[in-house]
Amino acid sequence: MAVIVQKYGGSSVADVEKIAQVAAKVAATKQAGHDVVVVVSAMGKTTDGLLALAKNVAETAGSEGREPARRELDMLVSTGERVTMALLSIALGARGFDAISFTGSQSGILTNDRHFDARILEVRPHRIEDELARGKIVIVAGYQGMSYRREITTLGRGGSDTTAVALAAALGAERCEIYSDVDGVYSADPRVVDDARHLPEVALDVLQELAEAGAKVLNAQAVEWARRNKVRIFARKTTDSSGARETISTDGPLEASHAVSRVRAVVGCKPVLFVGAPSASLHTLLRVLAREGVAFVHLATSPAAATVAIPLANCPDWARTERALRAEISELSCHAGDALLSLVGDGFSSGGTALEVLRTLELAKIEAQLLDASALRVTVRVAERDLDEATCALHRALV
């Protein structure tokens, strides 16, 4: 029987009513004859609430400067998804369905030991397979796993997407459905660009560029797993029962013959910090960022200086990271107030598309600095206040 993995994000399970609605959707999928594995996030803003509690308790208890240990933060925040999984399992039971919930560790999600930002190394879903064979619906706590040291780890922001895709790969699932409060991928943020178009199909490599450029539809690590394991992703709105409007991933770049269905999208990303250091400190800069688990999206080096762009979404606690950097690099400069703007698509000409982007922005009288140009993406740096206008200009001219 074909396995379907469904993932429901925090806003889809924010309260009792929404969990009951998710139970109805899951039940319908089971009744349609599928084996169903459901990956859930923590309810609503639970994770943020728990982190605020940790900060609060650390400040109240003492001021010896010790940050909350990431191992302990993982112990704390991993409870959020466990509450949701148990409640969804209970909701399915109340509808007369046999369901069983598993933590990340029980699901066989094995990670490295980088607490609070772990990467999945391997998935051994034996218990899930056993329960599916017994006809049960399996609910899995997203965003978490167990390290080889047998410690509870979490996967960083958006980590439940990664759990879902990695499980879909390990189970040979027919597809991985990602439910959230958006109905897939658009050619630009519809709140910014009036005539943004919905994109029904996007190649996985383009999807990965979109995620890395800052599109919120899917976690970049999740798309990477999907690419490596050829998992088909369906991104839908939770409230869209028909799936009438969704984005489906396609495998590999589109062929030349598909050029007519060329996918292009404009993606903005803010807030972003631009962090500079003397070139002599480059190794230190990279080492500290790696140790802190902060991913940057652009690196520029000159004989004099090195600069990286850090989307704050990649950086759960910038104050901590900045302290760690300043402890080792005395001449560190941090610049806030700029944003990243990317044109993502396929079939870009190497220099040509970058030039088109720069000319378009020049015509619109928006200052921009070219950061990256690849076959799938052109990224520029603009002032945060210009981001929306620049997005509209690029979308009008090039999408």
d(CA 295, CA 173): 30
Contacts of 290 (CB under 8 A, 6+ apart): none
54/299 with CB nearer its own copies: 54
Residue from 100, 171, 289, 357 binding its own copies (CB under 8 A): 100
d(CA 284, CA 276): 12
Q: Spell out a b/e string for 216-247, using b for 16 or more CB atoms within 10 Å of the CB, else e.
A: ebbbbbbbbbbbebebbbbbbbbeeeeeeebb
15/251 with CB nearer its own copies: 15
| Token pair of 352 as six digits | 């040509």
Residue from 83, 192, 295, 358 binding its own copies (CB under 8 A): 83
Triad 87, 90, 92: Cα angle to 5°: 110
Whether the bond into 253 is cis, omega within 30 of 0: no
d(CA 247, CA 236): 7
Which range, of 91-99, 220-228, 274-282, 324-332, touches its own copies by CB under 8 A? 91-99
Q: Is 241 in the site for its own copies (CB under 8 A)?
A: no
21/250 with CB nearer its own copies: 21
130/362 with CB nearer its own copies: 130
d(CA 15, CA 122): 32
123/203 with CB nearer its own copies: 123
Residue from 31, 48, 56, 359 binding its own copies (CB under 8 A): 56
Question: What is the smallest separation between the CB atom of 219 and its own copies, expressed in angstroms?
Answer: 24
Size of interface with its own copies, in residues (CB under 8 A): 49
Q: Is 166 in the site for its own copies (CB under 8 A)?
A: no
List the x/- string, 105-144, binding to its own copies by CB under 8 A.
Answer: -x--------------------------------------
Q: Is 319 in the site for its own copies (CB under 8 A)?
A: no
Instruction: Collapse the DSSP code of 368 into the 3-class scheme (helix H, G, I; strand E, B; otherwise coil) and give the result.
Output: coil
Q: What is the DSSP letter of 261?
A: G
Q: Is 87 in the site for its own copies (CB under 8 A)?
A: yes
Q: Is 28 in the site for its own copies (CB under 8 A)?
A: no
Q: Is 324 in the site for its own copies (CB under 8 A)?
A: no
Question: What is the smallest separation between the CB atom of 146 and its own copies, expressed in angstroms?
Answer: 11
d(CA 280, CA 22): 53
Cα 35 from chain centroid (whole Å): 26
Binding residues vs its own copies (CB under 8 A): 16-17, 19-20, 23-24, 50, 53-54, 56-64, 66-69, 71-73, 75-76, 78-79, 82-83, 85-87, 89-96, 99-101, 103, 106, 150, 152
